[in-house]
Amino acid sequence: MVITIDGPAGSGKSTAARKVAARLELPYLDTGAMYRAIAHVALIRGVSLEDEQALVELTRRTRLELDCGPTHVRVRADGHDISEAVRSLKVSQATGAVARVQALRDLMVAEQKRLGRRLGSFVTEGRDQGSVVFPNADLKFVLEADLEKRALRRLRDLQVDGEEVDFKEVLDNLKTRDANDSVQWSPLLEPDAAIVIDTSDLSIAEVVDCLLGHIQAVIPKPKEPDRT
């Protein structure tokens, strides 16, 4: 079973995908970690984030390995485990420039398809997943939320990470990301192709329950173990 979760920044898709994967005991394909990994390697090697050609070359030459489990994702680049490093704010800030390069995205999409074939059944989350990468997924979700609610969530996450940011800064950042998303990347899903969930007024537990409700409606219940 292939489940895709798309949605704008701050819609809660990463947390929801992680929790749904854990509950279903399916691998979680963290596509954001792949873009983050390239950003990290670019920073380490001093590759300019403005040099698109160099970023594409770097992506071609870097051996990325993603170990996707239901409750863990480990990322390696050229044999080095960078799972923690890719979460830093510096890397988060650099990743936008990396994810913007279409030729680099094409390489990532090919790699995501290859990973998907290897995993077989999995939950994947991130831009393009239901539309471009796994158009034949069994279940496609799009999580949405009001801009202000998304900004508030981001603000809280950043504050938990010890960042000093204010609401307006986060709001402006999300506005820019929304604007970029709508013009730069592959179109979102066809209308009706996905189940759209507005998470504005839902807690993460409610979002997860809602997703699981839809998923369990289409998958056969696992057989009881034979105890005879």
35 lies in the site for ligand DC, by CB under 6 A = yes
149 lies in the site for ligand DC, by CB under 6 A = no
Determine the residue with CB nearest ligand DC: 32
Consecutive H or E run containing 28: strand 28-30
Q: Helices 102-119 and 52-61: crossing angle, nearest 10°?
A: 20
* Residue 93 or 216 having the CB closest to ligand DC: 93
Burial letters 190-207, b for 16+ CB under 10 A, else e: eeeebeebebeebeeeeb
Structure tokens at 223: 């057989």
CB 142 within 8 A of CB 2: no
Part of the chain binding ligand DC (CB under 6 A), chosen from 16-24, 29-37, 161-169, 218-226: 29-37
Part of the chain binding ligand DC (CB under 6 A), chosen from 57-65, 92-100, 147-155, 191-199: 92-100
83 lies in the site for ligand DC, by CB under 6 A = no
* Residues in binding contact with ligand DC, number by CB under 6 A: 11
Binder among 36, 140, 150, 154 for ligand DC (CB under 6 A): 36
Structure tokens at 12: 């809660």
What is the closest distance, in whole angstroms, from the C-beta atom of residue 42 to ligand DC in the complex?
13
141 lies in the site for ligand DC, by CB under 6 A = no
50 φ/ψ angles, rounded to the nearest 5 degrees: -90, -15
* Distance between CA atoms of residues 139 and 215, nearest Å: 7
What is the closest distance, in whole angstroms, from the C-beta atom of residue 32 to ligand DC in the complex?
2
CB 212 within 8 A of CB 159: no
* Residue 51 or 181 having the CB closest to ligand DC: 181
Give the side-chain half-sphere CA count within 13 A for 13: 29
* Residue 127 or 149 having the CB closest to ligand DC: 127
CB atoms within 10 A of CB 78: 11
* Residue 187 or 225 having the CB closest to ligand DC: 187
14 lies in the site for ligand DC, by CB under 6 A = yes
What residue ranges in 33-121 does DSSP mark as E strands?
Answer: 64-68, 73-77, 80-81
* Residue 10 or 139 having the CB closest to ligand DC: 10
What is the closest distance, in whole angstroms, from the C-beta atom of residue 218 to ligand DC in the complex?
24
Q: Which residues bind ligand DC (CB under 6 A)?
A: 14, 31-32, 35-36, 95-96, 99, 126-128
